[in-house]
Amino acid sequence: MKIEEFINSLKELNISYTDEMLNKLEEYYHFLIEYNSHTNLTAITSLEQIYLKHFYDSLTIVKAIDLNDIKTVLDIGTGAGFPGVVLKIFFPHIEITLLDSNHKKTKFLELLVNKLELNKVNIICNRSENYIKNNRESFDLVVSRAVADLTVLTELSLPFVKVGGLFISYKGDNKEEINSSLFAVKELGGKLIDVINLTLPNENSKRSLVVVEKINRTSSLYPRTYDKILKKPLKIKEK
């Protein structure tokens, strides 16, 4: 995806933009590539692929929610800032928290946020199950593009969402993974309200936005430690 194609995609997504936003995104790209030369942040390095698979993909969330109505966002497992930093650039009113347990990645994010002069951005180097202690049910929206299984992501994410808020996970086209997470969604106080299927432009990569609404408070038993989540995921036990 060339920059011109990306700009056209913003129009198709009905995302308002300014030259300043586009300049910040380009600066983001160049700094990411520079930093990636000595610290592994992404396997994707070409401009066209980063604009498509990181920048555009991050913004497809607008097909699921009007971000103009959202005040606080938590990005779990943000890595190099996807989708969190991209969302912040185009929706600057949002107060966003970028959570990742990898110190090298949060150090990059600190430098990036300073370079792009972004405000109302909190960068946290911690694990979800530890960060939850003082931040339970504190966010309007929790997002994640992490590669973990959806059942695992749901337990790590949904406890942070306010009742009435949303958890949106960026996933591939995997109906079985989505279906197997439904028990966890219900157990944690959520309800699956939509699965939006997408295809990235210029290729046949299938994507899904899994949209979960928080309808009840999450028990203080959750999230469990990461080891326990992996060993005993919240799924219906087979008889």
Q: pLDDT digits over 126-169, tens only?
A: 999 999 999 999 999 999 997 789 999 999 999 999 999 999 99
The yes-or-no verdict on residue 239 having pLDDT over 50 is no
On whether residue 9 sits in a domain, the answer given is no
Residues spanned by the domain of 169: 66-231
The mean per-residue pLDDT over the stretch 70-77 comes to 98
On whether residue 54 sits in a domain, the answer given is no
Supply the CATH number for residue 146's domain.
3.40.50.150
CA distances from 45 to 12, 48, 145 (A): 25, 9, 18
**Whole-number percent of the chain with pLDDT over 70:** 98
CA distances from 120 to 19, 49, 96 (A): 21, 28, 6
Q: What is the pLDDT of residue 238?
A: 44
Q: What is the pLDDT of residue 237?
A: 58
Mean pLDDT, the chain, rounded, equals 95
On whether residue 55 sits in a domain, the answer given is no
On whether residue 198 sits in a domain, the answer given is yes
On whether residue 111 sits in a domain, the answer given is yes
On whether residue 226 sits in a domain, the answer given is yes
**In the chain, which residue ranges form alpha helices assigned H by DSSP?**
3-12, 19-36, 47-50, 57-59, 84-90, 103-116, 128-131, 150-157, 175-180, 182-187, 226-231
On whether residue 205 sits in a domain, the answer given is yes
Counting Cα atoms < 13 Å in the Cβ hemisphere of 66 gives: 2
What is the domain count for the chain? 1
On whether residue 6 sits in a domain, the answer given is no
The yes-or-no verdict on residue 97 having pLDDT over 90 is yes
